[in-house]
Chains A and B, each alone.
Chain A
Amino acid sequence: MNLFWLYCLFIILLFFSGLYCIFFTYNLIRALIGFELLIKAVTLLLVLAGNTNHQLALAQGYVLTLIVIEVAIIAVAVGIVIGLHQHHQSLDTRQLRQLKG
């Protein structure tokens, strides 16, 4: 197995860990952390694709865009989590069953 496929293997495992975290946690903050792991796997995949195709400049442009979007999503999601905590006094997804703001 060459280095490219080794990277791909670890990217799949990293993606799987993030997905597992999102599926099996009841805590909203931990779900966001799982989402971050998913984005890290995609970031590494983009850089690897750029490296393989000798188009690192384009890949870096995509990665920078991805990082910016990631930060914005996390900032808004964290705001929503804090708002939910103020309303329900809990971050357990089992207790958040009402869609009122």
Chain B
Amino acid sequence: MRVDIFLLIILMAAAIWTVMTRSLLRSAIGLALSSVILAMLMYRLGAKLAAVVELSVCAGLIPVIFVSTISLTEPLTHKEVLQQMKQRLRRFYALPIMVIALGIILSLLRFPPPVTGISAEGIKDAPSVLWNLRQIDLLGQVVIILCGVFGVVILLKEEFKQ
């Protein structure tokens, strides 16, 4: 339990750092760090297959996409960054205070015990769910990936023509 609490606190700290940091690049790195910690939590909860996919896709692929985007778009000059820094701090300084206050308020509330023991037959492991129960979903996922790929190709087509 202590490890879970420690990981949850680090996850929250990484999320706040991701939101509050000035540099977009650091923000993308913070997001990757959040994904790594989330994968560790998922592994501790027993979702090993999902943890591996989270680690490889969300901590590996998505930060690369973000870093590529940041490098393709013009970063701000040092002067502009300094000008915007005060404004940014003014907008985001409330986040840690609000998170701590919300955490304290929610932890004071008394919740009922969670509902457990809903039975489902024929479900043994994740691959059997995916290949036996959710074949149509898999087809849908393939279509979604293709839509994503073609969407990016169409959006960037104009640049290739130029």
Residues of A bordering B, CB below 8 Å: 1-10, 12-14, 16-18, 20-21, 24-25, 27, 29-30, 32-34, 36-37, 40, 43-44, 47-48, 50-61, 63-65, 67-76, 78-83, 85-86, 89, 91
| Tally of B interface residues using CB under 8 Å | 78
How far apart are the CA atoms of A53 and B92 in the complex, in Å?
Answer: 37
Given A56-B47, A72-B144, A85-B74, 18 further pairs, Cβ under 8 A: A9-B103, A12-B102, A24-B91, A24-B92, A33-B28, A44-B42, A47-B45, A55-B118, A58-B120, A64-B53, A64-B141, A65-B140, A72-B145, A72-B148, A74-B62, A74-B65, A83-B155, A85-B72
CB < 8 Å neighbour of B19 from A3, A8, A34, A71: A34
- Judge whether B49 and A64 touch: CB under 8 Å: yes
Q: Would you give the shortest CB distance from B86 to chain A, in whole angstroms?
A: 14
Q: Which 7 A-B pairs have the closest CB atoms?
A: A72-B148, A79-B155, A60-B126, A76-B151, A63-B50, A79-B152, A10-B8
Pairs across A and B, CB under 8 Å, 12 listed:
A16-B99, A17-B95, A27-B24, A40-B34, A40-B38, A50-B45, A64-B50, A67-B53, A73-B148, A75-B65, A82-B73, A91-B73
- Judge whether A78 and B11 touch: CB under 8 Å: no
> What is the count of residue pairs linking A and B with beta-carbon distances less than 8 angstroms?
214
- Judge whether B31 and A33 touch: CB under 8 Å: yes
Does B107 have its Cβ within 8 Å of any Cβ on chain A? Answer: yes
* Neighbouring B residues of A32 by C-beta, 8 Å: 66
- Judge whether A47 and B42 touch: CB under 8 Å: yes
CB < 8 Å neighbour of B24 from A30, A40, A74, A80: A30
How far apart are the CA atoms of A16 and B1 in the complex, in Å?
Answer: 24
CB < 8 Å neighbour of B47 from A33, A51, A65, A71: A51
How far apart are the CA atoms of A62 and B131 in the complex, in Å?
Answer: 13
CB < 8 Å neighbour of B126 from A18, A30, A40, A57: A57
